[in-house]
Chain A
Amino acid sequence: MAEMDTSSGGGHKKGPGVKKSKKQSTRVDLTPMVDLGFLLITFFVFTTTMSQSTAMNMNEPKKDTTNQTKVKNSGAMTILLGKSNQVYYYYGQLDPTKLSEQFKSTTFKEIRNLIVEKKKATPLGDLMYIIKSDKQSTFKNAIDILDEMTICDVPPGHYAEVDLPEAEAKMIEQTEQANGIK
Chain B
Amino acid sequence: MPKVKIPRKSTNIDMTAMCDVAFLLLSFFILATKQKPPEVLAVQTPSSVSSKAVPDKSIIITLTKDGRAFLMLGDETKKPEVLANINLTKGLGLSAAEMAKWGKSEFIGLPFNQIKSSLSAAPIPPDKLPGIPISDSTNNQMVDWMRSISNVYAGGNQSDLEKMILIKGDNDALYPVFKSIKDAFTKNDIYKFRIVTNGEAVPPGSELANSAKAANK
The residues of A with any CB-CB pair to B shorter than 8 Å are 1-2, 29-31, 33-34, 37-38, 40-41, 44-45, 48, 51-63, 81, 112, 116, 119, 133-144, 146-147, 150-153
Q: Is the CB of A54 within 8 A of B206?
A: no
Q: Is the CB of A139 within 8 A of B47?
A: no
Closest residue of B by beta carbon distance from A35: B22
Q: Name B13-59 residues within 8 Å CB distance of A.
A: 14-19, 22-23, 25-26, 29-30, 33-34, 36, 45-55
Q: With A30-B15, A41-B29, A139-B169 given, is the CB distance from A54 to B208 under 8 Å?
A: no
Q: List 28 A-B contacts (CB under 8 A).
A: A1-B16, A34-B22, A37-B23, A38-B22, A40-B26, A41-B22, A44-B29, A45-B29, A54-B51, A55-B50, A55-B197, A56-B50, A56-B197, A59-B191, A61-B191, A62-B186, A133-B179, A135-B174, A139-B174, A139-B177, A140-B171, A141-B175, A143-B197, A150-B50, A151-B49, A151-B206, A151-B207, A152-B208
Closest residue of A by beta carbon distance from B164: A55
Partner of B191, one of A30, A54, A60, A142: A60
> How far is B170's CA from A60's CA once the two chains are assembled, in angstroms?
20
Instruction: Provide the residues of chain A in CB contact with B108, threshold 8 Å.
Output: none
By secondary structure, the B interface counts as mixed
Count of B residues near A, CB < 8 Å?
Answer: 59
Q: Mark B173-190, 1 if CB is under 8 A from A, else 0.
A: 111111100100110000
Instruction: Provide the residues of chain A in CB contact with B47, threshold 8 Å.
Output: 147
Q: Is the CB of B48 within 8 A of A147?
A: yes
